[in-house]
């Protein structure tokens, strides 16, 4: 294989090549490290590189491949979003607050993927503490979209999405609190899956909003996402919110037909908020699934418009609680020469947290305060229940819900930085899925003026199998997932 074909191959293709001896894990790892060295200065997707450790892991993988003990992901390189704790490797959440934090343990997701034989190349950039939709709030600088270096890659997992799109690695991990896997996957033209809440352990993931956060795979194809989800999933004794359910074989049903399945199309997803060209692409994508025998059904999700307000009360409220641990005393940034305890708290937090994080802490603290708890936080939880009920009623008439993953294509860097409300609207089609705890999948659905668009598929709780099956069938019919950004010297 050529260097370019190596770095743009799928994990499934690479696994086959590794197991048949066409390439070695060391050769593959070196190809990915070379791609990062060549293009990361332009994209700024990778903020910590683990070259020596990666080569050592690749050599260990080659031994497993040689002695026949290798699994499907053995020797396949991947990158972790810098929100996952990684033993003896900096884990910063792209924040000054944690810039020097080196965890003594691996997150469960990290350890499970390590056990599966993957080779960790390093850590990817993100919005600070996962708060953002553009990867512009990082202390390490903005990440750029490989399809257009003047545009954002989405967020908060924008570094992970950009890294896969740019050919740095076939796999990356992301976290999704309100769309932070699916929206950047859409904007960068890759596949991104947010599993059902509880499917994947949150142990060792630095918390943003504990009732919403969920880790998931970011890959080139649905087939790769199934392989990665298999390795990531399962109950974890260290995470009381992880589900005690048997993990199905996510790859087994990929090639089953989708004929007879009903796809719910919410009218609320095709309102004034959606770009007309994006709407056209989504309808074209749905037509492909109809040709496979699926049936389109009109449904309603009446509380979609309330999702933004609900999310931006609940998520900041939980964030204000989770981030209260960063006080300059035990770990994290500590101001110099504090005059007293209050000065230590105030300056450590104001120096350590960026503007967007401070904004959300303030909003969340206000919503939880004694005089406003009932009016804001309690009311938001009640609306959250209504949103969940909307989905339950919709799934009485369909098997999967479909729509856009984002209201438009990637926007220029800085275009929404001064307008938080405009930035929050980027997640209008994704965050209600988190509020309801459901699985969501974004797959490439074509290009508009050279920029990717994502089709979002939403499933019943713990029914990732149907989502993956439908997404895979769509990718068998289309070649949108094969398109590559010109930045990496590839042809669209």
CB atoms within 10 A of CB 418: 8
Orientation of helix 25-43 relative to helix 158-165, angle to 10° = 120
- The Cα 47–Cα 92 span in angstroms is 10
Alpha helices in 107-147 (DSSP H): 108-115
CB atoms within 10 A of CB 413: 20
Decide the pairing of beta strands 171-175 and 77-81: parallel
**Residue 124, strand partner residues:** 46, 81
* Residue 156 among the catalytic residues: yes
User: Please, are residues 238 and 201 in contact by the beta-carbon 8 Å criterion?
Assistant: yes
List 156, 172, 186, 320, catalytic entry: 156
Decide the pairing of beta strands 400-404 and 77-81: unpaired
- The Cα 121–Cα 171 span in angstroms is 10
List 12, 15, 24, 81, catalytic entry: 81
Calculate the alpha carbon distances from 475 to 179, 190, 449 in Å: 21, 11, 21
Q: Is the peptide bond before 376 cis (omega within 30 degrees of 0)?
A: no
**Reduced 3-state DSSP string for 374-419:** HHHHHHHHHHHHHHHHHHHHHCCCCCEEEEECCCCCCCECCCCCCC
* Residue 369 among the catalytic residues: no
CB atoms within 10 A of CB 164: 31
Strands (E), 125-166: none
Count of all residues that appear for the chain in the document: 492
- Return the ∠ at Cα 16 (arms to 146 and 447), rounded to 5°: 25
* Residue 180 among the catalytic residues: yes
Quick one: which H or E segment has residue 294? none
User: Please, are residues 127 and 56 in contact by the beta-carbon 8 Å criterion?
Assistant: no
List 12, 95, 180, 242, catalytic entry: 180
User: Please, are residues 473 and 289 in contact by the beta-carbon 8 Å criterion?
Assistant: yes
- The Cα 7–Cα 77 span in angstroms is 10
- The Cα 38–Cα 33 span in angstroms is 9
User: Please, are residues 184 and 451 in contact by the beta-carbon 8 Å criterion?
Assistant: no
Calculate the alpha carbon distances from 129 to 43, 368, 417, 433 in Å: 20, 20, 17, 20
Residues designated catalytic: 81, 156, 180
């Amino acid at each position: 294989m050529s260097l370019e074909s190596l770095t743009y191959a799928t994990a499934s293709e690479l696994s086959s090549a590794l197991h048949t001896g066409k390439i070695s894990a060391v050769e593959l790892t070196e190809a990915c490290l070379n791609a990062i060295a060549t293009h990361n200065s332009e994209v700024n997707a990778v903020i910590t590189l683990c070259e020596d450790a990666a080569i050592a892991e690749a050599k260990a993988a080659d031994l497993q491949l040689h002695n026949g003990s290798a699994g499907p992901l053995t020797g396949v390189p991947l990158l972790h979003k810098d929100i996952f704790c990684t033993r003896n490797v900096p884990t910063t959440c792209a924040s000054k607050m944690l810039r020097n934090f080196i965890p003594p343990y691996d997150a469960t997701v990290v350890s499970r993927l390590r056990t599966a034989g993957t080779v960790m190349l390093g850590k990817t950039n993100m919005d600070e503490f996962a708060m953002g939709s553009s990867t512009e709030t990082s202390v390490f600088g903005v990440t750029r979209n490989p399809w257009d270096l003047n545009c954002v890659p989405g967020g908060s997992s924008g570094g992970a999405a950009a890294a896969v799109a740019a050919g740095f690695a076939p796999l990356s991990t992301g976290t999704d609190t309100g769309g932070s896997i699916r929206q950047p996957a859409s904007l960068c033209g890759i596949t991104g899956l947010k599993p059902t809440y509880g499917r994947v352990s949150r142990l060792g993931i630095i918390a943003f909003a504990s009732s919403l956060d969920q880790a998931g795979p970011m890959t080139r194809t649905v087939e790769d996402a199934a392989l990665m989800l298999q390795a990531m999933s399962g109950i974890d004794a260290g995470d009381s919110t992880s589900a005690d359910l048997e993990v199905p074989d996510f790859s087994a049903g990929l090639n089953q037909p989708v004929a007879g399945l009903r796809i719910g199309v919410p009218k609320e997803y095709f309102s004034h908020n959606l770009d007309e060209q994006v709407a056209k692409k989504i309808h074209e994508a749905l037509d492909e699934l109809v040709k496979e025998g699926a049936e389109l059904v009109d449904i309603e999700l009446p509380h979609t418009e309330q999702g933004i307000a609900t999310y931006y009360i609940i998520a900041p409220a939980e964030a204000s609680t989770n981030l209260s641990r960063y006080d300059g005393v035990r770990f994290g940034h500590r101001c110099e020469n504090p005059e007293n305890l209050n000065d230590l708290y105030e300056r450590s937090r104001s120096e350590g947290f960026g503007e967007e994080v401070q904004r959300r802490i303030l909003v969340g603290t206000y919503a939880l305060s004694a005089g406003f708890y009932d009016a804001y936080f309690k009311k938001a939880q009640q609306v959250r229940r209504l949103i969940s009920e909307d989905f339950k009623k919709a799934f009485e008439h369909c098997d999967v819900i479909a729509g856009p993953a984002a209201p438009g294509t990637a926007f220029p860097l800085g275009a929404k930085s001064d307008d938080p409300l405009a930035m929050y609207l980027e997640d209008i089609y994704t965050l209600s899925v988190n509020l309801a705890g459901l699985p969501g999948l974004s797959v490439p659905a074509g290009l508009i003026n050279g920029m990717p668009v994502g089709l979002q598929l939403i499933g019943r709780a713990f029914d990732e199998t149907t989502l993956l099956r439908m997404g895979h069938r769509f990718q068998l019919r289309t070649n949108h997932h094969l398109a590559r950004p010109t930045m990496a010297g590839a042809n669209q």
